[in-house]
Every structure is written in C-alpha cells, then in structure tokens.
C-alpha cells in the first residue's frame, strides 16, 4: 500500500513538474533569450529568387530577406551578433515558429487576419500583392480572365483565396513550392501561375517566354512573424526596422536586389 501511494505521489509530482516546465517555456521571453545568446534564429525561404534562394556553389542562402535579417540582427543585438538561418516552406513557417525552432520568421509572409490569430507580425517591410504570370503568347490580361482557366498556386500561400475571390470559376491546382508550380506552367499543366509580385519578378528574371499581366490585384504586404504574445521581440524588430529605414540601409538593400529588375518599381517600394 505504501509503495502504491509513493508511486502515485511520484507520478503526480512528475506531471506537475512537466506542466510547470511547459508553462515556463511558453512564457519564455524570446527577446531576452536572443539578447543573452547574441543570436537570432530566423526562419527563411530557400526557394524564392530575390528573397531567399540557395546558392549551389557556396551552399549559402542569398536574398533580400537574408540581408535584411542580418542587418536587423546587428541593429538589435550589436555588430558581433549572429544570424542563423533555418529554411522553411510556405506551408511550414508557422509551425516552425510555434515549435520554437526559430525566434522569428522573415519568409515572404503576407500579413492576414487568419495568420494574426496564430502569430504576431511586425510592421510591413515589403509591399507585396498577388500578380499573374503567363506565357508570352497567352491571351490572359487580368484576374477576371482566370475564370474557367487552370491556375497554379503554392500551398500555404494566400494565392488560392485571392484567385477564388476575383475569379470564382477558376480551377485551382496547388503545388508544394514555387519551383514545382513554375515547372507545371512550363509543362502546360496550367494557364497561369499566381503568387506575390516580388516572387514572380524573381522567377521571371531568369526565365524567358513569360510575362506578368494585370498588375497587382491585391494589396498584401509582408511582415516578420514572432510567436503570439512575444511583444518585446516584436517591438525590438519594429524599432530596428525603423532605424534601418531612416539610415538608408533598407533602401540600399532594396536597390541591391530589385534595382535592376525592369518589372519592379523600387521607388514605389521605398515609399511604402
């Protein structure tokens, strides 16, 4: 009887300790953690030209968001601070953050009411919007023309909902990443590829035979995501973003990555 009582007490104690540890983990201050380690683990894209893509020769990820994350890290934690990068896809970035595999996500992530229920966002840092890529000989001119057409989108993005709103009769075909979706367009599996303008501009830069049509048919800016309730981390990211905008770093990075892209208006983005 005593052994049974002791075992029950021990199990209850372990359970209470586990719950306490989990509770403390949830309340952990992300900013204080990165401040003490002088390191920020960023969730980033590695399949998105101009924003974050893998350089096969160096094995490193390059892009506008990568450079911006590095600049934010130094602004927040000092010049000797380190930015680590963990790759994510459009479909896994929120889960990566919730699992605390990263401290923040800067991965072409549109600010939406649905996502704001799960994470907290910084102020916008890029003026994105949904756009349409088609073959140069396509007769599609705008989003209304997507009705009764096969439209290629990427899972986990806002493209499918945007297309359904403006072209409810469109047939939506979803893919795991941008490379797969563009490959499907090239193979003739769809009539148009819809996603954020900046992403399509990056793909178009290295591809001939395709064009963007209709301009942006939505206004869906990108924000940096942190776990819900991490207000200090969110605040420090916003302060750092403002500083980089004021000292010219943001505009310099914008011009570095988008300045030579004919179909992208850098001046409009600078005023954003």
**Hey, what CATH class is 30-127+221-265 in?**
alpha beta
Residue 108 pLDDT: 94
| pLDDT, tens digit, 9 for 90 and up, residues 196-240 | 998 998 898 888 899 999 989 999 899 999 999 999 999 999 999
Does 130-213 match 30-127+221-265 at the fold level?
Answer: yes
User: Which residues make Cβ contacts (< 8 Å) with residue 231, sequence separation at least 6?
Assistant: 120
- pTM check: above 0.85: no
Q: Flag residues of the chain having pLDDT under 50.
A: 1-26
pLDDT value of residue 16? 39
Locus of tokens 């900046």 = 198
- Dihedral sign from CA coordinates of 189, 195, 200, 202: negative
By CB neighbour count within 10 A (0-12 exposed, 13-18 middle, 19+ buried), where does 91 fall?
middle
The token pair that represents 249 in the structure block: 């770093």
Which CATH superfamily does the domain covering 130-213 fall into? Answer: Periplasmic binding protein-like II (3.40.190.10)
CA distances from 120 to 20, 41, 44, 115, 169 (A): 24, 17, 17, 8, 34
Distances (CA, A) of 266 to 111, 143, 200, 203, 269: 21, 24, 15, 17, 5
pLDDT in tens, 75-98: 999 999 999 999 998 889 999 999
pLDDT of residue 27: 58
Sorted by where each begins, the domain ranges of the chain are 30-127+221-265, 130-213
The predicted structure's pLDDT at residue 9 = 42
């Amino acid at each position: 009887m005593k052994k049974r009582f002791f075992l029950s007490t021990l199990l209850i104690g372990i359970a209470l300790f586990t719950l306490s540890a989990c509770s403390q983990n949830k309340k952990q201050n992300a900013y204080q953690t990165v401040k003490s380690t002088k390191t920020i683990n960023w969730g980033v894209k590695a399949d998105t030209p101009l924003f974050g893509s893998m350089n096969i020769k160096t094995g490193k990820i390059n892009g506008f968001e990568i450079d911006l994350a590095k600049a934010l890290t130094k602004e927040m934690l000092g010049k000797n601070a380190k930015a680590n990068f963990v790759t994510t896809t459009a479909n896994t970035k929120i889960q990566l953050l919730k699992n605390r595999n990263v401290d923040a996500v800067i991965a072409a992530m549109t600010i939406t009411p649905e996502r704001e229920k799960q994470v907290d966002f910084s102020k916008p840092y890029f003026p994105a919007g949904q756009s349409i890529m088609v073959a140069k000989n396509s007769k599609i001119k705008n989003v209304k023309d997507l009705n009764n057409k096969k439209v290629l989108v990427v899972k986990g993005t806002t493209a499918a909902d945007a297309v359904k709103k403006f072209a409810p009769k469109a047939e939506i075909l979803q893919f795991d990443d941008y490379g797969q979706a563009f490959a499907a367009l090239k193979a003739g599996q769809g009539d148009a590829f819809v996603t954020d303008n900046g992403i399509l501009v990056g793909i178009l830069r290295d591809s001939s035979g395709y064009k963007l049509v209709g301009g942006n048919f939505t206004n869906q800016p990108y924000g940096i995501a942190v776990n819900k309730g991490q207000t200090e981390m969110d605040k420090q990211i916003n302060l750092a973003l403002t500083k980089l905008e004021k000292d010219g770093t943001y505009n310099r990075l914008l011009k570095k990555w988008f300045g030579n892209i004919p179909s992208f208006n850098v001046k409009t983005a600078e005023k954003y």
